[in-house]
Structures are given as C-alpha cells and as structure tokens.
A and B are shown apart, each in its own frame.
Chain A
Amino acid sequence: MSALSRFLPLSALLVLLLFPLLGSEYYVGLLSRIIILAIFAMSLDLLIGYTGLVSFGHAAFFGIGGYALAIAFQDASVIHLWQALPLSLAAAALAALLVGWISIRTSGIYFIMITLAFAQMFFYYFFESPSYGGDDGIFLFLKPVLMIGSEDILKLEQENNFYYFALSCLVAGYLLLTMILRAPFGKVITAIKANEHRVCALGYSVNRYKLVSFVIAGTLAGLAGFLEGAHSGYINPSYMSWHESGIAIAIVVLGGMGTLYGPVVGAFIVVLLQDFLPSLTEHWQLLFGSIIISVALFLPRGATSLLPRILALLRREKSEDASSEEDPLEKTDG
C-alpha cells in the first residue's frame, strides 16, 4: 500500500504535467480552474478535516485574495508578481486573523453561523461598494509578471504557462501542508479535532492552535483567490458568496476530508460534473445533488476512500486464493 500510495500521486502529477502537450487550450484552461479550486478546497480541509473547524465562510478569504490583487493593480501598467502575490496573501491572512480571532471562541453550529455571517459581511461590502465595481466587480487586463532583467520569465498570458504556474502552487501548497501536519503543530491540531477538551487538559492553549490553523487556511485560500483573479482577469462579489463556501465544503466532503489529496480529487469531480452534466439534461442540478447525497451515504469518507476499499477486497481474494492453494500441501504434510 505504501508503495502504491507513493506511486499514485506521482503518476497523477506526471499526467497533469504532460496534459498541456496533448489537450486543447480550452481543457488546459478548465484544468487550471480545477487546480485553483483544489488549492481552495485543500486549504478548507486543513480546518474541516484536520482541526475540526467547519467553516462556512471560507470563500471570504478566497475573494479577499482576488480583490487585493484587483484593487491594488486595476490601473497599474504592470503587475509585479513579487508585489501582488505577497499583498494578496497578507490581505487574506489579516482577514483570517480578524475573523478567526472572534470565531474560534465558538464551536459547533455557532462556529458555522459566525463564519457564514462574516463572509456575508464581506460579500455585501464589496457588493455595495461603487469604488470596487459593486456587483459588476473589477476587470484586470494584465497578468502578473516576474521580471528578471527585462525579461518576464513566467509569461502567464499563455494558457499553458499559467497552468504550470497554478500546478506548482498546488504542489507547493500540498507539500507545505504535509510538512505542517507532520510537525508538532500538526499533531496538536489533529488531537484537537479528536478531543479538544483533553488537549486543553494536557496543557495546550487550544484557541491559539485553532487560530493559527485558521490563518494558515485563510492565507492558502487567498492564494487560490489570487490565482483565480489573475487567471480569469475578473473578480466580483460572487467569489465570496456563501454558495462558493458551500461548494468548497461539498468538494472536501466528496473527495474525502482529512486527506490532502481528497479535496484535489473532489475538485476534479465537481468541476467535471458541472461541465458534463448540463449536456445531459437541463435539470442537471438534481443529478448533481443526488450524486453528492449518494457519496455522503455510501462513501462517508469520500470518493478517495473507494480505492483503498477495492484494493483491500482484491487483496483478501488473493490471500484466500493463496490459502486455498496451500491447503493441499498441509494435507500431505499431515
């Protein structure tokens, strides 16, 4: 299993790396969108799947990452990546710090409600702000550049280059979270999810760990928002709507929470379904809903739990075969 679990992500990464050589520009663009959504969902999984905080307002930080880019650079003649990216991350981190500072004092249903309320406040602020385009949002006509000398080494206006940029962000985010989860910090937050009261009794100031987790997740969501804004060249309030937060939760649950690859798989499933189902029927939302319901019912640990189950079944059959082959030998021995 461990060999396979190492082999699978690497081969998936290889497929993603080679895809632009074969796929059309439309599908490369679609894949970029999926990857951005995967980063967003993965950041939410740090909260839902590892810290036990069900945030229903995670889209706020996604939107703030995008808006920070759009507001600061809407009239700029050039967008320097080294300025724009840290700005987006800082804005999202600051917002997460403020929202988290208050929200983590509550738990359960109250935490869900309070994060939702915060996200709605951000949503209406941008929705009703004429200087930021109101519900029309802001257009960005330039892509961020990374200048070395007089040469832009990223050339993000080319779809393939943007795709590779987003993919590297996904891999970096994945590795970062993996590292954090293995470190002492990760041990504490997974313990908080399992039994918060006991963690406190063991001497940890639980709220500080929750807050830091909330800020890390918010910052990573800001990265996704930055990428989305840069990719589509358009940012509007719907980025931070509760619908967007809900989709992120659905992706995490569909893919499998508490695994970092689950949300990545979930993002693929959700976007591809949204792309494919409407061609079947105009009532595709019904189909989409029933798929989510069936996964929740039959695969409570997400779509990615399917593979280990199948493997376990196969292995059991194999070992049964092996034991039945051994039987005659035992008899002759006896």
Chain B
Amino acid sequence: MADTILRTDRLSKSFGGLIATNGVSLDFERGQVHAIIGPNGAGKTTLINLLSGDLLPNDGSILFNGKEITNLPPNKISQLGIGRSYQKTNIFAEFSCYENCWVAAQSRLNSSMRFFRPASHLKAVRERAERALELCGLSRRHNSRAAEMSYGEQRQLEIGMMLATEPELLLLDEPLAGMGSEESIQVIELLKRLAEEHTLILIEHDMDAVFSIAEQLTVMVNGRVLATGTVEQIRNNQAVQEVYLGEDEEEL
C-alpha cells in the first residue's frame, strides 16, 4: 500500500539553546504533494534544510528510498534525486536565464571534470536545460540576465534550476513568497503540473494555494509536529483549529 519515498525518524536540530526541530518523525508518500504549514518560527525551513543536507541534524535519521542520507552533504543528496528551491532567491544573478539552467543541467553528467570540448556541444545537457526553461515558463527569457528579471521570474527560475537537475523529490521552500497574485497563479499551475510526475514537499504560507495543491498536510508548531494527515483530517483536527487555523481566521 503506502509507498514511502522519504522518512524522518525523531529528527532534531538545535541552535545553541533554541530547539528548531524537535523529534520530527514523518513519512512522505511517493507521488503526493505534502505541504508543511505552521506559524513563523515553527521550524519548517530548518526541516527542509535538514532534508536537503544544508544543515546536519543533532539527532535522528532521514531515509530516502530506504537509504540512510542523514549526514550526507547537499551535493550528494542532490545527486540522489532530491532537488530544492530556496525561500530567498538563490540564483546566479550575473548569468543569463539559460546559463542558470545550464549549470544545473550539467550537474547530471557523470562528471564535469571535462576540459577539452566546449560545454555547448553537450546535447543532452542542452536539451535538459531547455526543457527546464520551458517547464518553468521562462523560454522567452532565454538570454535575459537573471538579475534584470522581475522578482516573480527569478522565483520561477529558482524552480527551473531545480527541475534541470531532474529530481524525483522536490523540496520547495515558500515558492510563492513575495509574488503578485498573477504570478502566484502561474506558479500554482506549474506546481500542479509538476505534481503529476514528482513528489513534492512544500512549505507555504498561502493557505488557498496549499489547499488547492496539497494532498497531505503537516502542521508544525515550535519545532514539533502538531498534526499530520490528509487535508480533510487536518481541517477537522481540533488542536490545529485552535493553534493555527483559528488564529488565521481571527486575523482575517
């Protein structure tokens, strides 16, 4: 029945006295969109950083496709098929849009320790980069310098670069952060398309977006998992309504 792609077991991370992630045990099912929500400071980004290898946990373990990846560096985790996008746009600002995707696509060569033939001769890399550009909707911005593009386009490029590495599992840290409503709609469409072929783990504050994409939801508060389950289960969960969703409604 359930096919787990990623599993965390009592995963913990603290910074000095602050416990950012506290004993998080979660199963992520293959092919599903799993959103992680929670108030600011709940430890969502820390969790993503642990999954992508940007941070090393103090305790606990992470299994990807049944293999232990707990203490692997980010480059090894990326090579295993876990791609991530960053909350703060993290691109090569002086490169063109295409070159950004090129560098990402080239990472799937057995080795880039190649010194003789021009990189542009590599057909497989070119195709991968172009496919990623098309997927993230930036084909028309092919030669634009990344720094000159709008914020929303940079966010799209951020996703495009991740796609160019052809990951199996996508970690998305607030893909809609700071986007206008028009751009948001585009990116939500993109995420829906990606969800057809990938597993997505997604942090997002935009509740409408979360409810329209996600199948599984985890609510985190103060570094702990408050509740996890299907969207329906979470909606009806008493504790969640009190702590999190309730607050939101009051704010509204």
Contact = CB atoms under 8 A, between A and B. Distances in A.
A188 interface: yes
Contacts of B108: 203
Interface stretch (A73-81, A178-186, A277-285): A178-186
Interface string B102-116: 111011110011111
B92 A194 contact: yes
A105 interface: no
Interface stretch (A40-48, A205-213, A290-298, A308-316): A205-213
Interface string B73-96: 111101100001010001111110
A130 to B, nearest CB: 41
Contacts of B78: 201-203
A291 to B, nearest CB: 28
A201 B90 contact: yes
A200 interface: yes
B92 A203 contact: no
Contacts of A180: 115
Nearest to B95: A194
Nearest to B125: A184
Contacts of B92: 191, 194-195, 198
B103 A188 contact: yes
A187 B107 contact: no
What DSSP secondary structure best describes chain B's contact surface? Answer: loop
Give the interface centre of B86, B103, B114 by most chain A CB atoms within 10 Å. Answer: B103
A197 interface: yes
Question: Chain B contact residues (Cβ within 8 angstroms of A): what range?
Answer: 35 or more
Contact of A203 (B90, B99, B107, B120): B107
A201 B119 contact: no
Contacts, number: 87
B142 to A, nearest CB: 17
What DSSP secondary structure best describes chain A's contact surface? Answer: helix
Contact of B54 (A179, A185, A201, A212): A201
Interface in B143-183: 161, 165
Given A188-B106, A198-B91, A203-B107, A209 B75 contact: no
B73 A200 contact: yes
A185 B112 CA distance: 5
Contacts of B161: 198, 202
A200 B78 CA distance: 9
Contacts of B109: 184
A184 B52 contact: no
B52 A201 contact: yes
B66 interface: no
A184 B75 contact: no
Q: Which 7 A-B pairs have the closest CB atoms?
A: A203-B78, A203-B107, A184-B112, A182-B118, A194-B92, A184-B114, A184-B119
Interface of A: 179-180, 182-188, 191, 194-195, 197-206, 208-209, 212
Interface of B: 52, 54, 73-76, 78-79, 84, 86, 90-95, 99, 102-104, 106-109, 112-120, 122, 125, 161, 165
26 contacts: A180-B115, A182-B118, A182-B119, A183-B116, A184-B122, A185-B112, A185-B114, A187-B103, A187-B112, A188-B103, A195-B90, A198-B91, A200-B73, A201-B78, A201-B86, A201-B90, A202-B75, A202-B107, A202-B161, A203-B78, A203-B107, A203-B108, A205-B75, A206-B75, A208-B113, A212-B113
